[in-house]
Amino acid sequence: MPASAFAIDVRGVTKKFGDRTVVNDIAMQVRPGEIYGFLGPNGSGKTTFLRMLCGLLKPDGGEGSCLGLDFRRESPEIKKRVGYMTQRFSFYEDLTIEENLDFIAKLYEIPQRKAAVEKSLERLGMVDRRRQLAGQLSGGWKQRLALSACLIHEPQLLLLDEPTAGVDPKARRDFWEKIHELAADGLTALVTTHYMDEAERCHRLAYIAYGNLLASGTAREVVQAAALTTFEVTCLRSEATARQAGESLHELAEKIRKLPGVEQVVAFGTTLHVSGRDGEKLCASVAPWMTGAYRWEKIESGLEDVFISLMETAKDNFA
């Protein structure tokens, strides 16, 4: 695909604060109409990367384009074509929904401002709440207002920084349905998230840890590239009996956690997920516990298994 066909096409993107590199030589290509997930632990550089893309931060290195424009030299023009939704609610709480949208429309110098506000209210189902103060809204409705404000100037690209943090499951589902509707109409979205179910709803995704890009591709490609061996372990005895015998899953986890080949032991409800990249070494280490009180079933590794593994093997640049 030629470079001009990408909504985002950057490489070597780097940002330092003092002697600490917070974004290190990142390359990314995102197609128009694609929902691209951007994952990583807190402090990994996701927000810094978004701010460089839309011109709010000046990169120390890198080249490429955003919406066909040089992302370093033409940032003022890029800002006009991007909708950026920040992690924190950043609108005036003593203004109504309608007043907030009208203010944003003024900032963008939108012609036919009244019609643009009305369209925004209708697009996200806020007509009946137009006169409600923003400070009185629940998390889900604040999220709708923020998204509506991002869309009021008809951007070509949405940069969404943890947009569903702190909202209930229904609001999260409704939000993602709207994002998929917008993508179907050709709008591109780059979304940071900590939720694995949301990552699986993205067309493609990338994982960044402490400034370094560790994995990218579709969810299936990322899982396959990690080449993790994962077992789901179930205790065959009742919890009380297992505890009395010293064979509870918690006690098993403590026994095997530091064995060769065992890279992660994570509780999943009433089971354990035991994973490692060297399957033979992992199996050899846990073999003594594979009979008796436990059932071990080899399963396909999930995104969460993969991302925990990537995070635990990444070098913390704040350490």
Number of helices (H), then strands (E), belonging to the chain: the values are 12, 14
Pick the residue with more confidence: 264 or 312?
264
**Are 66 and 78 a contacting pair, CB within 8 Å?**
yes
* Residue that the structure tokens 């846990």 belong to: 286
pLDDT at 2: 45
DSSP secondary-structure letter at 294? Answer: E
Instruction: Evaluate if residue 319 carries a pLDDT over 70.
Output: no
Instruction: Evaluate if residue 127 carries a pLDDT over 60.
Output: yes
β-strand 35-39 against 204-209: which pairing, if any? parallel
Q: Using one digit for the tens of pLDDT, what is the confidence trace for 197-206?
A: 899 999 999 9
Measured in residues, the chain has a length of 319
Who contacts 186 (Cβ-Cβ below 8 Å, separation ≥6)? 32, 33
Cα–Cα distance, 234 to 272 (Å, whole number): 7
The CATH code of domain 3-223 reads: 3.40.50.300
Q: Using one digit for the tens of pLDDT, what is the confidence trace for 245-293?
A: 788 999 999 999 999 999 999 998 889 999 999 999 999 999 999 988 8
Instruction: Evaluate if residue 123 carries a pLDDT over 50.
Output: yes
**Are 131 and 98 a contacting pair, CB within 8 Å?**
yes
Taking alpha carbons only, the member of 228, 155, 180 closest to residue 37 is 180
Instruction: Evaluate if residue 72 carries a pLDDT over 80.
Output: yes
- Which pTM does this prediction carry? 0.88
pLDDT at 239: 80
Stretch 44-60: mean pLDDT? 93
Instruction: Evaluate if residue 42 carries a pLDDT over 90.
Output: no
Q: Using one digit for the tens of pLDDT, what is the confidence trace for 176-202?
A: 999 999 999 999 999 998 888 899 999
Q: Using one digit for the tens of pLDDT, what is the confidence trace for 2-20?
A: 445 899 999 999 999 998 9
Whole-angstrom Cα Rg for the chain: 23
Cα–Cα distance, 144 to 163 (Å, whole number): 10
pLDDT at 315: 66
Report CA-CA distances (Å) from 99 to 95, 111, 118, 135.
6, 16, 11, 12
Of 23-32, 89-98, 160-169, least confident by mean pLDDT is 160-169
pLDDT at 3: 46
pLDDT at 4: 56
Share of the chain above pLDDT 90, in %: 75
Q: Which residues of 31-61 are buried (b: 16+ CB within 10 A; e: fewer)?
A: eeebbbbbbbbeebbbbbbbbbbbbbbebeb
Domain ranges of the chain: 3-223, 229-300
Work out the mean pLDDT of the chain and round it to a whole number. Answer: 91
pLDDT at 149: 94
DSSP secondary-structure letter at 102? Answer: H
Pick the residue with more confidence: 312 or 179?
179
Name the CATH architecture for the domain at 229-300. Answer: 2-Layer Sandwich (3.30)
* Residue that the structure tokens 């401002």 belong to: 113
pLDDT at 1: 43
